Amino acid sequence: MPHKLKIASLNVNGLSNPVKRSRVLAKMRKDKSQVIFLQETHMTNSEHKKLSNFGYSNTYYSSCKNSRKRGVVIMISNSLHFEPIKTKRDDEGRYILVKGKMDNVLVTFVNVYAPPECNISFFKNLFDLIVRESEGVLVCSGDWNTILNYQLDTTSTSRQGSPKSKYLNTLIRETGLIDVWRNIHAREREYTHYSATHKVHSRLDFFLINTIDRHKINECKIGTADISDHSIVYLDIHLNSKPRNTLWRLNVGLLNNKSTVEEIQKEIGECIDDNKDDHVDPTIVWDTVKAVMRGKLISRTAYLRKMQRSKYDQLEKELEKLEKQLPKNEKKDTIGDQIKAIRKQIENLIKDETENKMRFMKQTFYESGPKATRILARRLRTQQITNSVHKIRDPLSNTLKYDPEEIHRMFKNYYETLYSQPEKADEEKIKQFLSSLDLPSIGSEQNGYLTAPISKDELDKAIGRLASNKSPGSDGYPNEWYKKFKEVLAPILLESFNWTLEKAIAPPSWKDAVITVIPKEGKNKEYCESYRPISILNVDYKLFTSIITKRLECFLPDLIHEDQTGFVKGRQTQDNIRRTLHIIDHVNKHHTCAALISLDAEKAFDRVSWDFLYKVLEKLGFNDKFIKCIKALYTDPSARVKINGHLTDTFKLHRGTRQGCCASPALFAIFIEPLAQAIRQEDELTGIMIARDEHKIGLFADDIITYLQNPNSTFTKLVKITEEYGSMSGYKLNMSKTQVLTFNYKPNKKFRKKYNLNWNARSIKYLGVIITQELDRTYETNYKLINNKIQRDVAKWSTLIMDFSSRIEVVKMNLLPRLLYLFLSLPVRIPDTQFSAWDKLISRFIWAGARPRIRLKTLQLDKENGGLALPDLRGYYYAAQLRYVVYWCSPNYQARWKDIEMSQGQAPPQSRLSGKEYRDLKGENLVVRGTLEIWYEVVKKYKLTGDCKLLIWPSCTSRFRPGMLDKTFEKWRDKGITATCTLIDKQHFKSFTSLKNEFGLENEDLYRYFQLRHFYETEVKREISVEGNDVIEILTGAFKQTPLRIVSKLYKGLLKQQGRNTMYIKEKWEKELGIELSESDWQTMLKTQHTSTSSKTWREFGWKNLTRLFITPKIKNKQLGQQQHCWRQCGQLNANHSHIFWSCTKIQTFWDEVLRVMGKVFGYNLPKDPRFIYLGLILEDVMGKEDIYLFKILSLAAKKAITRTWLRTDPPELSDWLTIVEEIRSMEQMTYRLRIKAELYAVRWTKWHLYVTE
């Protein structure tokens, strides 16, 4: 392998002249260039070939097919051992891509000539090719005719970058490439071309490589322009790479073979029997079973790989032999069939290899279909680059390091230092500190539940929660292993788990963890601390901790104060945001001298002292058995850091809760609770009093915000408490990142100097939202910022090649979550103009700037009703705001913000949800008023007025006169008789006996019961709808139990209430085809499209057909105002969808042939009915259930065959349809194998395989 490879790149401006050609090659030989990139050769194919006679037998070129202009060539010296794998060339002579192995190192060379007239689409297609095809070490160079940096790369006075330059910079950045020369010479000025016309020097020629390969560069320099008007650019690169220190992982593909699974299952059973010993610790037995099975699986995989390779070589030889016989042999059909059969076998072998690659890349873009491959490949590349580390700054020398070994060393040292315990805290001091705190504790019953033997049911549920295609821990066994062999593994697993629980001894394999680092958003990636460490732990470890955590979370709400809203079941991220807004409103109204202080902890999870944690567990009443069990998990643990696929050496951990461990969130909530309690009970810290409650602190995990009066004295005390707590626990306050928001307070100079914070800030960022001093600035501050980000992102996404469904997916997965978080967090009104602007932006994006073919409101419907579930942002906004109304109605939901809101006014806000009499909101709390205003808006907009009567509180409405006069009704509120809905069952008023038993009424209350019943019958029942209302039902149900997935349910309810549907599309089909379809039929057709295949792209295609998305002659006639003929020349004018896809005379033969083959496949004839064959109405009396899956695919493929011959005179042929079915079958096979469902695939495709074989 060459230690150093010298590459030269030059725009020669013509090489057809023999004299110039000799000069160029002589120059290259003199410079000892081993790989040469030449641009603008102006040569034909035959002339390019001659270059291989000059010592460069590996010469690859691209010539312009119509003229001598352009032309690029890559010449590789004979002194290098190069094995070509693949070549991709441009017909216009603008680029050539060559992929191969150089001394067994995979390399990709790309030579580019970008003509001055080329546009953005040229770069888009070029980079899509690079992303799709490049592997190994990428070297891309050429004459780009584009200036990357107008400040440094040109002498032109213009400093405005061209759109082409900006776009190329974006592509380079997004694909994780770097301009090598500029990366090495950050502020230097050198140029590669001089324009005599413009008298301007520019650097137009440069090398691009993968960011991850930066350490391989020895030198990059610009030479002289002595043989052309461009300067040569040289790159010295070494290809040497040290072998990776990696871990074994099970090839999950083994689990697709039924006989292999049975053999492995038998081996596991035998292995357990061989190693089980009553005198041996079950955790040792379990680890032994894993170790023995690992060896067997490695041997089995190696054997299968060897057999597969042998079979592949044999098939290749047979194929070569048959192909040579074919031209000479008279029996061409027989040999042709043999060749097809062998190619099919080779294809299946290659598919196994492809499947493995896909699984290890953790990508499932095969399910997105061929159209989405390019963008998803780029997405994969971007993800890999984002998570890669190609440089790190050495903290000692403050220099950047690119060498992988240096990077590994620095990460290992950083984490080894981080996880070391500086000094052991005084145990007596910890005890004194904890004993001074008023903390709750659990009893023997809870401890008994926590430490009870783990049951088979608990293990089954834990395994059921495991997701597929996740990285395994250091033992290499992934989630699929436990799912597949659950029954045979369960007994030994349970024995091992219960031994750990009982004896506090964990399996030795649990000690090791692999730390993967993920860059923190907005942080400088040059520093180790800018990465978040995630521990990849063994699956058996995660199963055990998930079971323990499930038990623990049952009573965590009783141990952890409501101030903490993170990692506690039933509490929400937004709880403390809403509470903070209330406090700001109160402080402003009462002109209180106060400060909101957002404390930043330095590496909070990683600095947790285990000794302190154990003492806290003891203080909270956890028994010795449980604490020892937790100690077992943290006894002598070790870790290795995984950087760019390589593992560092092992180091020991002495503190920290592992981010990636199921128990860590709950343990951290327990760990931080003493600090919160110390702040709460400190008399010198004066909080904000609202009603009768004092508010001092709010927490979301380690994000802490404090609400303090008189900051001059309280802030110093707060710092002292955190420092005292930190000295015992490892917690460290990061003062430089701590934020403060003051109200009616200005610290003096001495105080400012002592605590160097931004005391003049008008806003702080807390839990992802901007909290302002004046609440009326909340909307502008938060939404203006996110609007700018969204517009930038949409502009960036618009440049990417994405199909329709991928664009909708971007809106769902990227845009919606960001906005929804703000919708949930901030009770502010958003103007209609803003929603209209968002709708326009989304519409332009998903239609790629073209004219929409389907209404936006139709796309926003759920898939069952004919849409694509494109988010309706206004609907999500209303649903998010109404979530707090649901919480008002739920007596079970507890939160500090709710306590504040329940204390406002004489009656709680949920008593004001019905009736115009409650809509005077003057003097109402700002946050409550905002939520009520939105509620009233929803009631009016979605016509909920009648059903709202169920929410009337009889004790609070003037419409129920007895409630105004008799105070007993008011007392009944304390017993649970609140809204009218609490008194009825399925719209019938409950009996007096029922209410007595439920609410504890007395016999003398009978008359009041009659009054209430009369009020319901006369004032409420006649107003509510018989069929009910989904939105109101969520609210009425909340009075009994807090519902789950509230926002999702409210959104669906609001969408349903709008009454949108796709019946107008159904009516068009009925009219054109002369058929009748019931609503039920239409629903079945819609469902068929979204359950056809595993591929999103194919499902989308079925939906496009049913919703008439394609542009037919009739649509063209409307657009152009001219008569349009059917392109098949059948004589039909302005043909509609039904004609093009079904009733055209020229296409009848195709449908007849398809039906004939379907009859052979299924073994019975199918009716030629467009409802069934084309629209997808499944007729169960015609077709067996076992055939429905295959029929959907066959029908889908027939429609695709028609669109593939779009605008052609000749209709599709049967062979076109068969080819498409095979395309889908091939992709489905891979999908099922990746999901470990190969057997199901075999069952579903049996009839098709039989037909193809025959």
Q: Give the residue among 1033, 1031, 1026, 1032 at the shortest CA–CA distance from 1052.
A: 1031
Rounded distance between C-alpha atoms, residue 1102 and residue 1093, angstroms = 10
Produce one character per residue of 605-626: b if its CB has 16 or more CB atoms within 10 Å, e if not. Answer: bbbbbbbbbbbbbbbbbbbeeb
Between helices 486-503 and 624-633, what is the axis angle to 10°?
A: 120
Rounded distance between C-alpha atoms, residue 846 and residue 853, angstroms = 11
Produce one character per residue of 1121-1155: b if its CB has 16 or more CB atoms within 10 Å, e if not. Answer: eeebebbbebebebbbbbbbbbbbebbeebbebbb
pLDDT band, very low/low/confident/very high, at 253 (cuts 50, 70, 90): confident
DSSP per-residue codes, 1177-1221: ---TTTS-GGGHHHHHHHHHHHHHHHHHTTT-SSPP-HHHHHHHH
Pairing outcome for strands 35-39 and 5-11:
parallel
Read off the DSSP letter of residue 553: T
Q: Give the residue among 1123, 1131, 1109 at the shortest CA–CA distance from 1203.
A: 1109
Rounded distance between C-alpha atoms, residue 1151 and residue 1141, angstroms = 10
* Contact between 5 and 35 (Cβ < 8 Å): yes
How long is the chain? 1254
pLDDT (0 to 100) of residue 376: 44
Averaged over 197-215, what is the pLDDT? 93
Amino acid at 335: I
Selected from 2.30.30, 2.60.40, 3.30.70, 1.10.1750, the CATH number assigned to the domain covering 590-606+656-773 reads: 3.30.70
pLDDT (0 to 100) of residue 272: 92
- Secondary structure class of 6 (helix, strand, coil): strand
Rounded distance between C-alpha atoms, residue 980 and residue 906, angstroms = 19
pLDDT (0 to 100) of residue 1184: 84
Distant-in-sequence, close-in-space partners of 243: CB < 8 Å, separation ≥ 6: none
Is the confidence at residue 380, as pLDDT, over 60? no
Amino acid at 308: Q
* pLDDT tens digit sequence for 325-376: 766 665 656 777 777 777 777 766 665 555 555 444 433 444 444 333 444 4
Rounded distance between C-alpha atoms, residue 759 and residue 747, angstroms = 8
Percent of the chain with pLDDT over 70: 95
pLDDT (0 to 100) of residue 291: 94
Produce one character per residue of 978-1005: b if its CB has 16 or more CB atoms within 10 Å, e if not. Answer: bbbbbbbeeeebbebeebbeebebeeeb
Is the confidence at residue 572, as pLDDT, over 60? yes
Distant-in-sequence, close-in-space partners of 244: CB < 8 Å, separation ≥ 6: 645, 646, 647
* Contact between 891 and 976 (Cβ < 8 Å): yes
SS3 per residue for 836-861? HHHHHHHHHHHCCCCCCCCCHHHHCC
* pLDDT tens digit sequence for 1124-1183: 999 999 999 999 999 999 999 999 999 999 999 999 999 999 999 999 999 999 877 788
pLDDT (0 to 100) of residue 798: 83
Averaged over 167-171, what is the pLDDT? 91
**Residue in this structure with the two tokens 């007994």, named with its chain if needed:** 491
pLDDT band, very low/low/confident/very high, at 317 (cuts 50, 70, 90): confident
Averaged over 1086-1101, what is the pLDDT? 89
* Contact between 802 and 810 (Cβ < 8 Å): yes
Report the chain's C-alpha Rg in angstroms: 36
- Secondary structure class of 908 (helix, strand, coil): coil
Averaged over 158-185, what is the pLDDT? 89
pTM over 0.75? The answer is yes
SS3 per residue for 1071-1130? HHHCCCCCHHHHHHHHHHHCCCCCCHHHHHHHHHHHCCCCCCHHHHHHHHCCCCECCCCC
pLDDT (0 to 100) of residue 332: 59
Burial class (CB in 10 A: 0-12, 13-18, 19+), 740: buried
C-alpha 592 chain-centroid distance: 44
Domain borders along the chain are 5-237, 243-302+388-560+610-654, 590-606+656-773, 776-871, 904-1057, 1063-1253
pLDDT (0 to 100) of residue 938: 95
Is the confidence at residue 425, as pLDDT, over 90? no
* pLDDT tens digit sequence for 1182-1238: 888 899 999 999 999 999 999 999 999 999 999 999 999 998 998 888 888 888 888
Pairing outcome for strands 512-519 and 638-643:
parallel
Is the confidence at residue 12, as pLDDT, over 60? yes
- End-to-end CA distance of the chain: give it in Å, rounded: 52
Q: Would you put residue 521 in left (φ > 0), alpha (ψ -120 to 50) or beta?
A: beta
* Contact between 539 and 660 (Cβ < 8 Å): no
* pLDDT tens digit sequence for 636-670: 999 999 998 889 999 999 999 998 899 999 999 99
Tokens standing for 279? 């005198």
Tokens standing for 781? 């501050």
Which CATH code fits 5-237? 3.60.10.10
Is the confidence at residue 993, as pLDDT, over 90? yes
pLDDT (0 to 100) of residue 921: 65
pLDDT (0 to 100) of residue 368: 43
Distant-in-sequence, close-in-space partners of 636: CB < 8 Å, separation ≥ 6: 511, 652
**H or E element at residue 110:** strand 105-113
State whether the Cα torsion 11-16-17-20 is positive or negative: positive
* pLDDT tens digit sequence for 582-615: 999 999 999 999 999 999 999 999 999 999 999 9
Rounded distance between C-alpha atoms, residue 615 and residue 427, angstroms = 9
Read off the DSSP letter of residue 636: S
pLDDT (0 to 100) of residue 276: 84
pLDDT (0 to 100) of residue 744: 95
pLDDT band, very low/low/confident/very high, at 523 (cuts 50, 70, 90): confident
Burial class (CB in 10 A: 0-12, 13-18, 19+), 215: middle
Burial class (CB in 10 A: 0-12, 13-18, 19+), 131: buried
Averaged over 1107-1119, what is the pLDDT? 93
Tokens standing for 351? 């598919």
pLDDT (0 to 100) of residue 365: 41
* Contact between 728 and 430 (Cβ < 8 Å): yes
Which residues are bridge partners to 166 per DSSP? Answer: none
Query: 640 vs 970, which has greater pLDDT?
Result: 640
Rounded distance between C-alpha atoms, residue 641 and residue 535, angstroms = 9
**Residue in this structure with the two tokens 């057709």, named with its chain if needed:** 1085
Work out the mean pLDDT of the chain and round it to a whole number. Answer: 90
Percent of the chain with pLDDT over 90: 69
Rounded distance between C-alpha atoms, residue 1153 and residue 1162, angstroms = 14
* pLDDT tens digit sequence for 93-115: 999 999 999 888 899 999 999 99
Rounded distance between C-alpha atoms, residue 991 and residue 1016, angstroms = 13
Averaged over 1009-1027, what is the pLDDT? 90
* pLDDT tens digit sequence for 439-494: 999 999 999 999 999 999 999 999 999 998 888 999 999 999 999 999 999 999 99
Query: 119 vs 579, which has greater pLDDT?
Result: 579
Distant-in-sequence, close-in-space partners of 496: CB < 8 Å, separation ≥ 6: 282, 283, 285, 286, 507, 540
